[in-house]
Every structure is written in structure tokens, then in C-alpha cells.
């Protein structure tokens, strides 16, 4: 389906990025994330209750969906809106996040694609010196206010619930793909994403940023939280001639790991991260 501010939902000729991350209207930008999460809840509810009668089915047989095998795969904008829903949707059993980061201000200060956001932030805040644009830090008062506005939808405030929910909601299996040289989702935000998940890094680790336990594939049931066991991994890949934002779609080894991760869960109920 088309996410908020994409496809026919745009009702505009302006590019989707500028409409979704609409910092000329921050309240609307925050609302787009809420809407993206609402879409996920609606889709889960729809497929949980959807039945296509045999008479209307292209196969000639009744079609229904198995709610014990609902998964979410979110890339880029989908990984910004998805965690807000996945953290509270009990029917989602497995998540795959690609081009994913957490921490709005960190993103604003490091994101350089599709536009140079840090320069735009400095200009918007009128941070100039005699020699040009001044650097802006993450403790800037205006950015602190903006972060507070977006705190309700920032993945960093919801990720922990995916694999450790104090309310007793079932934990989810999680695979987070991290592409080196990602200019859309800055590495620092991807690192925060993994640390808040409290996932483990699958070897080979190409960016050892510290504070995360390493594990060697094959990986199954590597996370134990209060007796509940799931698989939770960050998988890194280095692009060759393209932006690291897209490694899930262009790295053959990573694609195989992704397919096996989802496939083994569907078949066996336990996702396995195979060796690359």
C-alpha cells in the first residue's frame, strides 16, 4: 500500500520526502508518523478478519490469513512508522527493519540524503559566524524543543517494547539490517536503534561501535528476557557502488539471510539467521 504522503495519498506534485518529513509544519510531520502506525494497525485488523469465499477466490478455495504468522517489514520511512505500531500490536510476531534509525535530532544533524539536512538546520536556526555556517550540536535549545514535539513518535521511545514489554505482550523476533555508508539514515541513528532493541550483532561485524554483544551465525533463540526466548540480531553489510541505505535489496548475501530469517519462522516458528 502507499504510505502517508506517497502515491495517490499525496494529493500534491511535491516530492514525498518533503511532504512526509514536513519540518515547515512539524505538527503535520508528526501526524504523518501517527498515520503510518495507524495504517499498520488497520492492515493487521483487516487481514485477521479477511476471508475470500471459494466462489470468489482465484484458486477456487477459501482464502484466509493465519494471524499467528503476521510479520512487518519496514524500510526507511516504513522503519520510522512501523515501530510505533509493532511495539503495541500483539499479532505481529516478527519484524525486519531496513534503513532504520532512532533519534530525531541525531538524524537532523547527520542526514545528507536526499538533501543536506544539517546545512538546512543551521540556516533555519540562523547559526552563522563571520566565516560561514556554524556547526549545530544536539543540545541546541531549539532542537530540544523539536525533539520533545516528536518524542511520542520517535522509534527510540518504543523499540524496547519489541523484545521486552513490561506489560506482558509477547516478544517479537527482530532482524535489523545496517548498511555502511547510509546517507539517508545516519549510522549513529542506526546504532541507537540496535542498542535500544538490545539486539546482538551478527558476525561479520563491519562497524564495531561498541556496547553490543556479538554472535556468530547460525543464530536462533539468542535473546532470553525473563524466560521468554526470541531471535534478535543486527546484520551489517557493506555496499559496493551504491548507498548503504539499500543493502537489503542489493546485497545477495543479506537477501538470503533475510529470506531464511522470515522463511524459517513461517515454517518452523523459529527464525534462523544463517551464515552469509
**pTM here?**
0.92
Could you tell me if 33 and 74 lie in one domain? no
Helix (H), strand (E) counts: the chain: 10, 12
Burial 95-134, CB ≥16 within 10 A → b, else e:
bbbbbbbbbbbbbbbbbeeeeebbeebbeeeeeeeeeeee
Q: How confident is the model at residue 10 (pLDDT cuts 50, 70, 90)?
A: confident
Could you tell me if 203 and 176 lie in one domain? yes
Structural domain including 210 reads 68-103+154-268
Burial 149-159, CB ≥16 within 10 A → b, else e:
ebeebbbbbbb
How many domains are there within the chain?
2
Residue-level pLDDT at 15: 84
Q: At which of 37, 65, 93 does a domain end?
A: 65
Task: State the DSSP H helix or E strand holding residue 234, giving kind and residue range, or none if neither.
Answer: strand 232-237
In this prediction, residues 14-38 reach a mean pLDDT of: 89
Residues 6 or more apart whose Cβ sits within 8 Å of residue 32: 4, 5, 19, 20, 22, 81
Could you tell me if 87 and 205 lie in one domain? yes
Q: Is residue 126 part of a domain?
A: no
pLDDT at 135 over 90: no
Could you tell me if 3 and 95 lie in one domain? no
Alpha carbon 34 to chain centroid distance?
A: 14
Could you tell me if 99 and 8 lie in one domain? no
Q: What is the pLDDT of residues 143-175, one digit of tens each?
A: 999 999 999 999 999 999 999 877 778 899 999
Q: What is the pLDDT of residues 78-115, one digit of tens each?
A: 999 999 999 999 999 999 999 999 999 999 888 888 88
Could you tell me if 72 and 42 lie in one domain? no
- The Cα–Cα gap between 139 and 23 comes to 19
Query: Of 36, 176, 177, 23, nearest to 105 (Cα)?
Result: 23
Tell me if residue 178 falls in helix, strand or coil. Answer: strand
Amino acid at each position: 500500500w502507499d504510505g502517508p504522503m506517497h502515491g495517490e495519498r499525496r494529493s500534491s506534485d511535491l516530492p514525498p520526502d518533503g511532504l512526509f518529513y514536513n519540518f515547515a509544519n512539524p505538527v503535520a510531520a508528526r501526524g504523518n508518523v501517527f498515520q503510518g502506525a495507524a495504517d499498520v494497525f488497520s492492515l493487521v485488523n483487516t487481514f485477521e478478519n479477511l476471508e475470500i469465499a471459494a466462489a470468489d477466490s482465484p484458486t477456487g478455495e477459501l482464502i484466509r490469513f493465519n494471524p499467528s504468522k503476521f510479520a512487518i517489514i519496514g524500510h526507511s520511512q516504513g522503519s520510522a512508522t512501523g515501530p510505533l505500531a509493532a511495539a503495541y500490536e500483539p499479532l505481529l510476531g516478527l519484524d525486519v527493519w531496513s534503513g532504520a534509525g532512532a533519534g530525531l535530532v541525531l538524524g537532523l544533524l547527520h542526514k545528507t540524503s536526499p538533501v543536506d539536512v544539517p546545512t538546512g538546520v543551521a540556516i533555519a536556526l540562523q547559526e552563522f559566524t563571520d566565516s560561514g555556517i556554524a556547526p549545530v550540536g544536539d543540545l541546541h535549545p531549539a532542537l530540544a524543543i523539536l525533539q520533545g514535539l516528536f518524542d511520542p513518535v520517535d522509534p527510540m521511545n518504543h523499540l524496547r517494547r519489541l523484545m521486552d514489554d513490561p506489560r506482558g505482550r509477547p516478544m517479537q523476533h527482530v532482524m535489523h539490517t545496517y548498511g555502511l555508508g547510509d546517507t539517508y539514515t545516519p549510522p549513529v541513528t542506526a546504532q541507537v536503534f540496535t542498542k535500544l532493541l538490545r539486539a546482538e550483532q551478527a558476525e561479520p561485524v563491519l562497524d564495531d561501535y561498541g556496547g553490543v554483544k556479538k554472535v556468530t551465525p547460525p543464530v536462533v533463540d539468542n535473546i532470553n528476557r525473563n524466560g521468554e526466548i526470541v531471535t534478535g540480531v543486527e546484520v551489517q553489510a557493506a555496499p559496493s557502488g551504491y548507498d548503504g541505505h539499500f543493502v537489503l535489496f542489493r546485497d545477495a548475501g543479506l537477501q538470503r539471510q533475510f529470506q531464511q530469517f522470515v522463511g524459517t519462522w513461517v515454517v518452523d516458528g523459529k527464525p534462523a539467521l544463517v551464515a552469509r
